[in-house]
Structure formats: structure tokens, C-alpha cells
Amino acid sequence: MVIASLAFAALAATPTQAQSLTDPYQIFARAREYWLQQHYPAMLEYTVAVSVLEAGSLKTERYWSAYDSSAQEIAVDSVSDYERAHPTYAAGGLNLHFQIPLIQKVLGRAQPPSDFLGVPLLAPNYTFGMAQIPPTSSATPSPMEIVRDVRDEFHDPAPDRTPNPKASPGELPIIERETVYNRAYRVTLTGVESTYGVPAYHLLLEALRDPWRYRLQQLWVDTHTLAPIQLVERMNFVDGPGTAVPWRVRFANVDGALYVYDETALRPMRYSGLAYPQASVAFQNIHAVEQLSRPPPPVAPQAPLIMSEPSFP
């Protein structure tokens, strides 16, 4: 069963001595520290699957993606498998533009969006602001570093990927200096409950400032490993319909490291005139590679909407 294996993967990630914590701020801090213990390959390939329920039909489109952990950059093929299987062709004949509403309604019907929720420019190890994972060191230029040089040469703007500050040898990177008087969240422990078969601390989080940045509302933390299992945030992504609804995010362990498993919208949404009662984003087939299986696109995705997560400097 997928859900059971999801929970077991988190449980088996980093065996630690079982403990019982009662301070919600300590539990939250331990969950953030867990992220900093993760070690990611220099290069990842994976598939981002975007699924929506539209007019009673479940539709899924998958995008080839890659993540360069050393440069912290994402590459994505902006043409999904669904788009290749369902190409959109412009109508033949004259391309006339009428200003009469009735004629526009008959002859100028809007085309459905080629990307259900936008092109996903997403990394599978995104921490949702809980930690800043330092870049993986790399001695030789990666394919995506070469692509970045091409972008620089032709003045093609790529998404802002400001490098996170590195820690000194033997020192953990600073997530955020918090004191009793300057916390980003008010954290409450509601108790321990079974989450996908794993005992988990259930935390409620209330942003004390900048709610568009500090978006977490609930967090479930494995009582054994102190790994994040699941969270609920008030909104998702930088732009688009996902910013208007809360999302549930689940995590899983893949080859000894913590990754996002899937993200599910908790309320219906609308985009480009279409209604989606259900929508989700899943990360599939995450695996380390020495060399990408295909050249990354030389330019940033060109689409009406890009699904990207906010950065946390």
C-alpha cells in the first residue's frame, strides 16, 4: 500500500533513540534540524506529475525534470507527455478578430490551458522554509551550469536562485536565529497521533509575522526519527490558482534522503476558465545521475504560468 510504505520510509530514514518531547518549539526545531542532516546527490532526475479532476475526468501530465544540488538550479521540459499526446492546433482559415460579443462567443472560443496548473519548476527537496540546505559541492561544471553560462551569454533571465550561505566546516548552517521574543511562529503541540501508521507529534503553527512567507499551519513529526511526515500550508507556489487554497504536503525517504512525496490542494480551484475540484502535484522516479539523460533546455520555460516555490533568503 502506498501510504504505508510512505510512512515506513520516513521511519527508516535515520534511526534514533525513541524519545518523548513535550516542548512544541523543541519539536519544531528538531524537525528543522532533520532537514540539515540530509545529504543529496549532486544531480537528480525525476518526473513531476500534475493531476487535476476536470469535468469528472482525472487528467495527468508529466514533466521531465532535473535538479542540480551544487548550483541549486532546476531544469524542466516545459512540454509534458500529455501535451505531446494531445497537441493543440490552431484553427485553419482566416484569423479574424471581431469586437461583437456574440460573434466572439461563437467563433472565438478560448483554448484550454496547455498546462493544467502551469509548468512545474519544482525541486523535490524543497523544505517549505523550515531549513536552508547548503549546496552540494561540485568540482567540475555540471550540464546546468553550462546552460546557465549560455543564458548569461544571451541575456536570458533565469529564475532567481540566490545561493544560500555556507556553514563553516563542522558547523551546521543557520536556519534562522529565533529567540523567545522573535519567533516566526506560535507553535502548539496537540498531542501524538498515528499518521500513516507512524506515531507523530501534531503541531499547530500560527505565523506571528509575514504570513505570505511563513505559510505553515500544521506539521506532523515522526516521534522516533523527528522527520517531517506531513504538513499543511495556507497557500502554495508564487503565482497561480494554488496561491488561493491550502495544500497538504507529504514527505518520503528515497535512498536515505528526505524528499517531497506529493502536494494536494485541499479546496477546489479555478484556472483559465476551468474548474478543478481536485488537484495535486507528485514527484516520481527520483534518482541520482552522473550525467543527465537528455540536455537541459537552454532557456528558461516560456509559459503563461510557472509553478515555482518562494525562496527563503
In this prediction, residues 90-110 reach a mean pLDDT of: 44
Strands 43-54 and 57-68, by their bridges, are antiparallel
In this prediction, residues 286-301 reach a mean pLDDT of: 92
Q: Cα 95 to chain center, whole Å?
A: 39
Task: For residue 105, name the pLDDT band (cuts at 50, 70, 90).
Answer: very low
Tally Cβ neighbours within 10 Å of residue 37.
16
Question: pLDDT value at position 19?
Answer: 62
pLDDT in tens, 11-42: 444 444 456 899 999 999 999 999 999 999 99
The region, left, alpha or beta by phi > 0 then psi within -120 to 50, assigned to residue 56 is: left
Min mean pLDDT across 45-59, 88-102, 239-253 is at: 88-102
Min mean pLDDT across 58-67, 128-137, 213-222, 249-258 is at: 128-137
| CA dist., res. 293 & res. 302, Å (int) | 22
More confident residue, 104 or 113: 113
Is residue 276 predicted with pLDDT exceeding 50? yes
Percent of the chain with pLDDT strictly greater than 70: 71
Residue listed under C-alpha cell 490542494: 265
Q: Collect all residues with Cβ–Cβ distance below 8 Å to 10 and sequence separation of at least 6.
A: 198, 222, 225, 227, 229, 251, 252, 253, 258
pLDDT in tens, 36-45: 999 999 999 9
| Domains of the chain from N-terminus onward | 2-87+113-307 (2.50.20)
* DSSP letter, residue 29: H
Task: For residue 145, name the pLDDT band (cuts at 50, 70, 90).
Answer: low
Task: For residue 156, name the pLDDT band (cuts at 50, 70, 90).
Answer: low
Task: For residue 203, name the pLDDT band (cuts at 50, 70, 90).
Answer: very high
Question: Which residue, 138, 2, 172, is CA-closest to 69?
Answer: 138
In this prediction, residues 233-261 reach a mean pLDDT of: 96
In this prediction, residues 147-156 reach a mean pLDDT of: 56
Angle at 28 between CA 25 and CA 29, to 5 degrees: 85
Question: pLDDT value at position 20?
Answer: 85
Is residue 209 predicted with pLDDT exceeding 80? yes
In this prediction, residues 113-142 reach a mean pLDDT of: 84
| CA dist., res. 44 & res. 291, Å (int) | 9
| Alpha-carbon dihedral angle through residues 183, 184, 188, 193, given to the nearest 10 degrees | -130
| CA dist., res. 256 & res. 43, Å (int) | 15
Task: For residue 157, name the pLDDT band (cuts at 50, 70, 90).
Answer: low
Question: pLDDT value at position 299?
Answer: 87
Tally Cβ neighbours within 10 Å of residue 189.
18
Do the beta carbons of residue 48 and residue 259 sit within 8 Å?
no
In this prediction, residues 52-62 reach a mean pLDDT of: 95
DSSP 3-state percent helix, strand, coil across the chain (nearest 5): 15, 30, 50
SS3 6: helix
For the chain, what is the mean pLDDT?
81
